[in-house]
């Protein structure tokens, strides 16, 4: 279906969506600031792990939680709200929308207080024995419930759409968003179990110790599908909007639907690849998760070819010739189509970020890079690359449409993604090479290896740390320009009516799936996903329960030995 007309949202929806877009971006200033400080500290340019009154783990927690959890969840919901309304041509249910935004804001603020007070220095993974104030876990749980409410609020609209359009396939963008939130809903269930039944009672002091292997396994049951919850809104932009904005068509809607289905089936049963180095799990099950991890890379490989083919078609339509001539013809720097620049930069970054994921997934190679700077390099080129850039570009676009204010400083806006790409292309390889040289992923133990008079001095680590800091400076400059574009846009006058959503929507170059195709039905694939989860997690969860490893709380800035009780 090809839609070009706009859709007017209600005043209430407009206000709530502005909160969903605006609040995380305000918090992001703090998140980026603390990321920047980490690079300076690692390069020895800041001498202490305490910055601005916050300790190392506090700053790192703020960086991770704001950037990777708050921003992505709020954006997922805001973007989903926009997509569902625009493509289904129906308004959101007002009370559901208000409840969901209220819960998400309330949850975020509740969790923010202990983080800012230094009572939750537990990083975004918050696995024990790191222990936070109960308000941190309660706030995080409320934030997640708010996002569930948004998702459940879309389902009646989807059902109504199906009743009226029984002869049409669900719009691709809506399918992508539904799959993203189905994955999110499924993977947040074990997280809810961990938070409600383990972490909250433990942090309230109702129980004195906690089963660490079980808590970590429940976390990673959630933690890897989480990355696809981050990624799929980006893929919606790449499949649905980018080909049209670049002047072409989507090469294969069929491939796009297959990709979303594959993510639904394969995103969850892979969490043990974060636990290869942990004892207590049989190697066989680590191997099963490794194989499934390679399988979940397939939809991204399909995406690489489908999106490249769509861009090639666009470039040829714009006069490109020869094997690579189409690339030069793409509107890389067209200030009137910023989503093209934000997407192309993200795709180029993801080529390297995705491939480094294959290294991580390889059981043997993982032994070399686990918990080193290599991992930070990987995830900055995935969530910090394509995902983050689509969030930045699309948030500005949503703000502009909701307020009727055109984006100001358009040339500067186009510079942001390319500058960000440059920064990442220095920062991430530096972290990765540092990781290969043995540099740890995180450290607050003093940077003696940067001190030539220390016996631990490592010249090669100094080089990579400095390069990472230079990359960090460029990233911050890109973000400051982005903030400048926001300020100019907010300060500028509204020139169009406010509250009208409109997105470029690509036609398919090849036919879409038929309406009766199995690729149009999520139910059977959801069943298959659940079956795979059951098969792949049954034994590891039992093994985690059997390996009784209880521990008292651990404070990273005041470390005490862990007590292990083996049964
Ligand atoms: Fe990952 C750790 C494996 C993808 C995020 N990952 C992490 C962590 C994060 C993260 C945050 O197996 C750290 C977690 C922590 O705190 O410990 N990851 C993978 C694999 C993939 C992968 C196999 N990761 C992602 C994505 C993320 C993300 C996506 C965020 C959004 N990851 C791992 C493993 C670990 C891990 C292990 C644990 C390591 C350890 O030991 O701790 C795959 O899904 C990647 C597949 C992607 C591709 C690339 C496709 C390329 C595309 C671009 C095409 C370009 C075009 C340009 C078309 C195969 C689509 C065209 C041309 C023009 C002209 C523009």
Q: Is there a domain that residue 2 lies in?
A: no
Burial of residue 119 (number of CB atoms within 10 Å: 0-12, 13-18, 19+):
middle
Quick one: pLDDT at residue 448?
65
Catalytically annotated residue among 378, 479, 503, 537: 378
Q: Is there a domain that residue 391 lies in?
A: yes
Quick one: pLDDT at residue 456?
75
Burial of residue 443 (number of CB atoms within 10 Å: 0-12, 13-18, 19+):
middle
Q: Is there a domain that residue 132 lies in?
A: yes
Q: How many CA atoms within 13 Å lie on the side-chain side of 73? A: 28
Q: Is there a domain that residue 182 lies in?
A: yes
Give backbone dihedrals phi and psi of 500, rounded to 5 degrees, phi first: -105, 115
Quick one: pLDDT at residue 48?
67
Indicate the number of domains in the chain: 1
Quick one: pLDDT at residue 56?
82
How remote is the CA of residue 483 from the centroid of ligand 1, in Å? 27
CATH classification of the domain holding 444: 1.20.210.10
Query: Among this protein's residues, is 63 annotated catalytic?
Result: no
Query: Among this protein's residues, is 370 annotated catalytic?
Result: no
Residue to mutate, 341, 352, 379, ligand 1, most ligand atoms under 8 Å from C-beta:
379
| Ligand 1 closest atom vs CA 124 | 16
| Ligand 1 closest atom vs CA 361 | 12
Q: Is there a domain that residue 4 lies in?
A: no
Query: Among this protein's residues, is 441 annotated catalytic?
Result: yes
Q: Is there a domain that residue 289 lies in?
A: yes
Q: Is there a domain that residue 159 lies in?
A: yes
Catalytically annotated residue among 318, 410, 441, 458: 441
Quick one: pLDDT at residue 44?
80
Which residue's C-alpha comes closest to atom 17 of ligand 1?
Answer: 274
Quick one: pLDDT at residue 3?
47
Residue to mutate, 354, 359, 383, ligand 1, most ligand atoms under 8 Å from C-beta:
354
How do the pLDDT tens digits run along the chain, 567 residues long? 444 589 999 999 999 999 999 999 999 999 999 999 888 888 888 776 566 667 888 999 999 999 999 999 999 999 999 999 999 999 999 999 999 999 999 999 999 999 999 999 999 999 898 999 999 999 999 999 999 999 999 999 999 999 999 889 999 999 999 999 999 999 999 999 999 999 999 999 999 889 999 999 999 999 999 999 999 999 999 999 999 999 999 999 999 999 999 999 999 999 999 999 998 899 999 999 999 999 999 999 999 999 999 999 999 999 999 899 999 999 999 999 999 999 999 999 999 999 999 999 999 999 999 999 999 999 999 999 999 999 999 999 999 999 999 999 999 999 999 999 999 999 999 999 999 999 989 876 656 677 788 777 788 888 999 999 999 999 999 999 999 999 999 999 999 999 999 999 999 999 888 888 999 999 999 999 999 999 999 999 999 988 766 666 666 666 555 555 554
Q: Is there a domain that residue 314 lies in?
A: yes
Domain that holds residue 338: 9-566
How remote is the CA of residue 535 from the centroid of ligand 1, in Å? 24
Quick one: pLDDT at residue 1?
40
pTM for the complete prediction?
A: 0.95
CA distance 359 to 374: 10
258, 191 Cβ separation under 8 angstroms: no
Query: Among this protein's residues, is 228 annotated catalytic?
Result: yes
The number of angstroms, rounded, from the C-alpha of 80 to the middle of its chain's C-alpha atoms is 14
Query: Among this protein's residues, is 224 annotated catalytic?
Result: yes
């Amino acid at each position: 279906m090809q839609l070009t007309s706009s859709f007017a949202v209600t005043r209430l929806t407009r206000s709530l969506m502005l909160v969903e877009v605006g609040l995380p971006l305000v918090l992001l200033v703090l998140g980026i600031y603390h990321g920047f400080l980490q690079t300076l500290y690692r390069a020895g340019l800041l001498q202490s792990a305490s910055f601005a009154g916050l300790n190392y783990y506090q700053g790192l927690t703020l960086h991770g939680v704001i950037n990777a959890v708050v921003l992505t969840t709020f954006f997922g919901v805001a973007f989903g709200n926009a997509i569902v309304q625009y493509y289904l041509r129906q308004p959101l249910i007002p009370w559901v929308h208000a409840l969901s935004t209220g819960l998400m804001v309330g949850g975020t603020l509740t969790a923010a207080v202990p983080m800012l007070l230094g009572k939750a220095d537990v990083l975004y993974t918050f696995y024990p024995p790191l222990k936070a104030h109960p308000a941190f876990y309660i706030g995080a749980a409320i934030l997640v419930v708010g996002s569930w409410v948004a998702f459940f609020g879309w389902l009646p609209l989807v059902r109504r759409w199906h009743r009226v359009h029984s002869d049409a396939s669900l719009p691709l963008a809506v399918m992508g968003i539904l799959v993203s939130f189905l994955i999110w809903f499924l993977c947040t269930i074990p997280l809810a179990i961990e938070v409600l039944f383990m972490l909250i009672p433990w942090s309230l002091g109702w129980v004195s110790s906690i089963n660490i292997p079980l808590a970590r396994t429940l976390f990673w049951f959630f933690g890897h599908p989480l990355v696809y919850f981050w990624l799929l809104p980006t893929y919606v932009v790449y499949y649905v909007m980018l080909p049209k904005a670049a002047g072409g068509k989507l090469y294969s809607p069929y491939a796009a639907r297959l990709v979303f289905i594959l993510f639904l089936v394969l995103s969850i049963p892979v969490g043990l690849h974060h636990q290869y180095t942990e004892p207590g799990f049989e190697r066989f099950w680590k191997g099963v998760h490794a194989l499934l991890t390679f399988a979940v890379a397939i939809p991204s490989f399909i995406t690489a070819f489908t999106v490249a083919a769509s861009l090639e078609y666009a470039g040829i339509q714009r006069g490109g010739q020869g094997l690579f001539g189409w690339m030069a013809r793409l509107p890389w720097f067209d200030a009137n189509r910023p989503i093209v620049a934000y997407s192309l930069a993200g795709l180029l970054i993801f080529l390297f970020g995705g491939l480094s994921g294959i290294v991580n997934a390889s059981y043997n190679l993982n032994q070399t890079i686990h918990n080193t700077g290599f991992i930070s390099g990987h995830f900055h080129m995935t969530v910090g690359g394509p995902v983050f850039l689509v969030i930045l570009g699309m948030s500005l676009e949503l703000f502009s449409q909701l307020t009727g204010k055109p984006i100001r400083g358009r040339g500067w806006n186009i510079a942001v993604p390319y500058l960000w790409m440059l920064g990442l292309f220095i920062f991430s390889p530096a972290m990765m090479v540092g990781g290969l040289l043995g540099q740890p992923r995180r450290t607050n133990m003093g940077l003696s290896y940067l001190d030539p008079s220390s016996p631990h001095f490592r010249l090669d680590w100094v080089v990579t740390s400095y390069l990472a800091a230079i990359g960090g400076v460029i990233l911050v400059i890109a973000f400051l320009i982005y903030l400048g574009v926001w300020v100019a846009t907010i300060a500028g006058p509204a020139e169009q009516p406010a509250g009208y959503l409109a997105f470029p929507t690509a036609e398919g170059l090849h036919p879409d799936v038929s309406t009766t195709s199995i690729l149009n039905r999520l139910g059977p694939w959801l069943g298959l996903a659940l079956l795979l989860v059951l098969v792949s997690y049954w034994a590891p969860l039992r093994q985690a329960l059997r390996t009784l490893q209880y521990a008292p709380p651990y404070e990273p800035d005041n470390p005490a030995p862990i007590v292990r009780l083996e049964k």
